[in-house]
Amino acid sequence: MKAVQVRKANELVIQEIEKPGISNPTDVLFKVKRVGICGSDMHIYHGTNPLATLPRIVGHEVAGEVVEIGQEVTGIKVGDHVVIEPIRYCGDCYACRKGRQNVCEKLSVFGVHEDGGMREWCVLPEKQLHVVDADLAWEEIVLAEPYTIGAQAVWRGEVEKGDTVLIQGAGPIGICILKMAKLQGASVMITDLSEERLAFAKENGADVTVLAGSENVRHRVEEWTNGEGANVVIDAVCLPMTFELSFDVVSTAGRIVVLGFDERTAAISQLPITKKEVSVKGSRLQTNQFPKVVSLLNDGKLRQEGLVTHTFSLDDVQEAFNFVESHPEQVRKAIIIFN
C-alpha cells in the first residue's frame, strides 16, 4: 500500500509499505478516506517540530471506513465511518490519573511520535476510533480532530454563556475555537493580520473582528467590553507579544489560554496576574472532547462552511505540501483524498 513519509527535513516521499492486519482482539482495520494537512505536519516536513522524530508517516486528522474488526470489538462494525483520536497514553501517571491523558508522561501522538494516518490502510485499537454518521461528507468529518483542539481550548478557558472571549489569530485553529466558543453562547472578538481571514471569521459567527496590524487591539477590547476586559483570552497566534498582550486585555477573574510551543521568553509582570487573580492555562491536544464534537457533527450543529479550501489526490501530495507552504494566505485547510 502507499504511505506518505517525511524521510528527512524537506524530503517527502510516497513509498510502498506492507498493508497492516489485525493482531489484537480490540483492533480495527479501516480504509483511509481523507487526511487533513495540519500546521504540525508542515513543521514535521520542515524538520522544525521539536516533538517529532524522522522518518515519519505524517497525518493525524484522519477519517476512514471500517473493513475488519477484532473479536472483542463491540462498538464498531464493518462499514462504519470513523474518525481517529490520535493519542496513546499510559493510564497510570499523575496526568492520566487526573483525567488529563493529553499530557501523559508517556504520550504518543499518531503522526508525530509514531507513524500516522497518511496511508491507505490503518489499524488502531477500538478506543481510538469514533463512529460518525455515514451520511456526512468526508470533508466534514475529517475536521473532527481540529474541532477537538478548539473544544479543548474553550474547555480550558471555562467559557460560558455570556462570556466575552478574545481569540488572537483567525487561522484554522482560531476558527475552530470560534465555532466552539459560539456554541457555548459566548460573545467573541477575533484578531488577525489578514482581512480575508477576518471576513471568514465574521461569516462563521465572530461578533467583532480586529485587524491587528492597523488597529489597537487593547483599545478595541476596552471599547467592546466597556472597560471590563475580555473574560477569556485564547492565544492562537502564540508569539511572545500576543502572550504579553493577553495579560493587558484580560478581565478581573479572567482566564488566559495559550496553545503555543514557542520557546522564546515573554516579559510578564506578576502584578496583573495577582491583582486581577488571572488563571493562565496551557491547552494541548484534547481531553475527552471527541464524543462532544462527534455529537455536534451528527446533529448538524458543526459544519466546516468553507474551512476546507483545497483538496489534492494522494499522488499529488508533494504539490499539496508545496502549495500550503507557498500560499498560506489562500489555504484554510487542505485535504488529501484517498480513493
Is 217 in the same domain as 260?
yes
Is 100 in the same domain as 195?
no
Residue 339 has pLDDT above 90, yes or no: no
Is 99 in the same domain as 77?
yes
Is 172 in the same domain as 191?
yes
Q: Is residue 296 in a domain? A: no
Q: Is residue 291 in a domain? A: no
Is 73 in the same domain as 179?
no
Residue 50 has pLDDT above 90, yes or no: no
Is 158 in the same domain as 260?
yes
Amino acid identity, position 277 = E
Is 238 in the same domain as 210?
yes
List the beta bridge partners of residue 34: 63, 337
Helix %, strand %, coil % of the chain (to 5): 30, 30, 40
Q: Kindly state the percentage of the chain with pLDDT values over 90.
A: 96
Q: Is residue 289 in a domain? A: no
Is 13 in the same domain as 138?
yes
pLDDT confidence bin for 320, thresholds 50/70/90: very high
- pLDDT one-digit tens code per residue, 118-164: 999 999 999 999 999 999 999 999 999 999 999 999 999 999 999 99
Amino acid identity, position 52 = A
Is 55 in the same domain as 110?
yes
Is 210 in the same domain as 271?
yes
CATH of the domain at 219: 3.40.50.720
What does the pLDDT average to over 5-30? 97
- pLDDT one-digit tens code per residue, 51-100: 898 999 999 999 999 999 999 999 999 999 999 999 999 999 999 999 99
Q: Is residue 295 in a domain? A: no
Residue 78, C-alpha cell as written in the block: 464493518
Q: Is residue 58 in a domain? A: yes
pLDDT of residue 34: 98
CATH of the domain at 63: 3.90.180.10
Q: How far is CA 69 from CA 87, 125, 138, 316, in A?
A: 20, 10, 21, 31
Residue 191 has pLDDT above 90, yes or no: yes
- pLDDT one-digit tens code per residue, 219-261: 999 999 999 999 999 999 999 999 999 999 999 999 999 999 8
Phi, psi (rounded to 5 degrees) for 243: -65, -45
Q: Is residue 84 in a domain? A: yes
Residue 215 has pLDDT above 90, yes or no: yes
Is 139 in the same domain as 156?
no
Q: Kindly state the percentage of the chain with pLDDT values over 70.
A: 100
pLDDT confidence bin for 184, thresholds 50/70/90: very high
CB crowding 134-171: b at 16 or more within 10 Å, else e: eebebbbbbbbbbbbbbbbbbbbbebeeebbbbbbbbb
pLDDT confidence bin for 292, thresholds 50/70/90: very high
Number of domains in the chain: 2
Q: Is residue 299 in a domain? A: no
What does the pLDDT average to over 168-181? 97
Q: Rounded mean pLDDT of the chain?
A: 97
* Domain assignment of residue 114, given as a range: 2-143+304-337
pLDDT of residue 262: 87
Contacts of 139 (CB under 8 A, 6+ apart): 34, 304, 308, 311, 335
Look up cell 488577525; give the residue: 192
Is 38 in the same domain as 114?
yes
Q: Is residue 130 in a domain? A: yes
Q: In 3-state terms, what secondary structure has residue 192?
A: strand
